[in-house]
Amino acid sequence: MRPFEDVVAEHGPTVLRVCRAIVGPVDAEDAWSETFLSALRAYPQLPADANVEAWLVTIAHRRALDVGRARSRRPTPTDSMPERPAPGADPASRDPDLWDALARLPAKQRQAVAYHHIAGLPFAEIAGLLRNSPDAARRAAADGLKTLRKIYREESR
């Protein structure tokens, strides 16, 4: 079995990209760390013929969801409550970068796009992560890409 440090070095960037796509750049490092802590505990029992990258993406999926849930429960401190948002204050109204655009997708579409186009997983494995069929995973990824194209088209006007 390969040393775990080699696994982290090889697959760490892919796991970080998946975490960024799911929870955004602010919480991605927390999800990445949680992923590799969980993986370190389970690594000795991993079968020799296992697809390590798919295994890590599965763990990253679960840890990123946990981090996202924890973030949604955290209060956001403010000095004062605004009565109305300022015009143009909505980050979705500005030119989004990739992470902002991904954050605007529905969860299943965002995850399908991240797992297939960022992590390179086949739709059969994505279906297991999303608890749906490979056809539904393929459809979610296609719909997500269509929506991303639409967002960029609208934002470039």
pLDDT at 146: 92
Low-confidence ranges of the chain (pLDDT < 50): 85, 88-96
Closest among 71, 74, 11 to 39, alpha carbons compared: 11
Yes or no: say if 66 and 113 are a contact pair by the CB < 8 Å rule. Answer: no
Amino acid at 39: A
Q: Looking at residue 151, what is its pLDDT? A: 79
Locus of tokens 């981090």: 67
Residue 92 confidence (pLDDT): 40
Domains of the chain: 4-74+96-156 (1.20.140)
CB atoms within 10 A of CB 41: 9
pLDDT of residue 65: 87
Nearest to 31 by CA among 69, 71, 60: 60
The predicted model scores a pTM of 0.55
Helix axis angle for 123-130 and 134-155, nearest 10°, is 90
Q: In whole angstroms, how far apart are CA 1 and each of 5, 9, 18, 34?
A: 12, 15, 25, 22
Q: What is the pLDDT of residue 157?
A: 61
Q: What is the pLDDT of residue 93?
A: 43
Residue type, 140: A
Residue tagged 């390179």 (tokens): 120
